[in-house]
Amino acid sequence: MVELVVSEDKIIERILTMELVRVTERAAVASAKLRGRGDEKAADQAAVDAMRRELNRLPIDGEVVIGEGERDEAPMLFIGEKVGTKKGPKVDIAVDPLEGTTLCAKDMPGSIAVMAMAQAGTLLYAPDVYMDKIAIGPGYAKGIVDLDASPEDNIMAMAKAKMVPPGEITALVMDRPRHADLIARLRKIGCGIRLITDGDVVGVIQCAEYEKTGIDIYLGIGGAPEGVLAAGALRCVGGQMQGRLILDTPEKVARAGKMGVKDPKKKYDLTELASGDTVVAATGVTDGALLKGVKFRGQIIETETIIYRSLTGTVRRIQAEHRELEKFHLG
């Protein structure tokens, strides 16, 4: 029998990929019990509690670099919190225990539990602020779009590459007042726009699956944490992404500086947002374009999870039936 030797750069995948699935499954099931109740905070807290409990069982020496907020803002899974048993590899952790809290509270499509794990020092360590982003899927020449180019130029570049008129390009934009000018400019050149109310991570990832989603490009301002999580997934499938932190007050610049951000106007590319061996796991809470939501069927709970691994470009989908329900601590 050939001995299995695991190199250090592959230890995350070999030992911990399935453990990440269990972490997001726990968070998804906990929040799914509160779907449609109208209580965003309760659903989010349930996901946070479940995710933290499971993370602390993992054989890792982990540090949360993207979390529920900074130390003085979040009691659990705050930026800088140590997680795991300390008996394993040093890793960076990025979490969004319940992306789309409003979607979950209203039982609307697209809510997920998502997290990323990477070698220590390879995920962007930044404050919980907004980020200006642009993202496209695989198959395009490097640099075809740019965060500093106009929306019109980016759409025209995409149209030229696909050899179609701009009216056949579809952009995904978050439906926020801050995007009124962006939306107007895109519509002026005939570009199609799909507006989403929440779900920043899923929004970016949809660019990677054009055949399924019809989304060519993501444009606009969303959360920086969600940007890092989405970057890990896009690296796996070969997409492109750029982001810039919006540090529009001296206080935000100072906070970012303490975290090692030397240039507050720096434009980050995909590998600067998430480098090294990155694994991203996401479990559906409510049904959506990316994942099916949690199903409660008597003594069986069904979940669907997707796992991206950047080092090998592997994407796994896991549909699970859970019969030992005590592990979910549902009370």
The answer on 235 and 174 residing in a single domain is: yes
pLDDT at position 10: 57
**Residue 232 maps to which CATH number?**
3.40.190.90
In a domain, residue 138? The reply is yes
In a domain, residue 307? The reply is yes
Q: Flag residues of the chain having pLDDT under 50.
A: 1-6
- Do the Cβ atoms of 235 and 207 come closer than 8 Å? no
The answer on 138 and 45 residing in a single domain is: no
The answer on 261 and 137 residing in a single domain is: yes
In a domain, residue 24? The reply is yes
In a domain, residue 293? The reply is yes
- Do the Cβ atoms of 200 and 103 come closer than 8 Å? no
The answer on 102 and 161 residing in a single domain is: no
Chosen domain end from 273, 299, 316: 273
Q: Please count the structural domains in the chain.
A: 2
Q: CA geometry: angle at 216 spanning 210 and 217, to 5°?
A: 130
Domain of residue 202 covers: 130-273
pLDDT at position 68: 82
Chosen domain end from 231, 249, 273: 273
pLDDT at position 8: 55
CA dist 166 and 186 (Å) reads 9
pLDDT at position 91: 93
The answer on 98 and 21 residing in a single domain is: yes
Q: Could you identify the residue written with the tokens 């590319």?
A: 269
The answer on 189 and 135 residing in a single domain is: yes
In a domain, residue 2? The reply is no
**Residue 31 maps to which CATH number?**
3.30.540.10
pLDDT at position 71: 60
- Do the Cβ atoms of 270 and 234 come closer than 8 Å? yes
- Which of 146, 132, 134 has the alpha carbon at shortest distance from 224? 132
- pTM score, two decimals? 0.92
In a domain, residue 3? The reply is no
CA dist 200 and 133 (Å) reads 10
Chosen domain end from 273, 297, 318: 273
The answer on 232 and 310 residing in a single domain is: no
In a domain, residue 191? The reply is yes
In a domain, residue 175? The reply is yes
Q: What is the DSSP letter of 197?
A: S
CA dist 272 and 288 (Å) reads 29
pLDDT at position 188: 97
pLDDT at position 1: 43
Number of neighbours of residue 232 by Cβ within 10 angstroms:
30
In tens, the pLDDT along 250-296 reads 999 998 998 889 899 999 999 999 988 899 999 999 999 889 999 99
The answer on 148 and 91 residing in a single domain is: no
H or E stretch covering 161: helix 151-162
The answer on 268 and 152 residing in a single domain is: yes
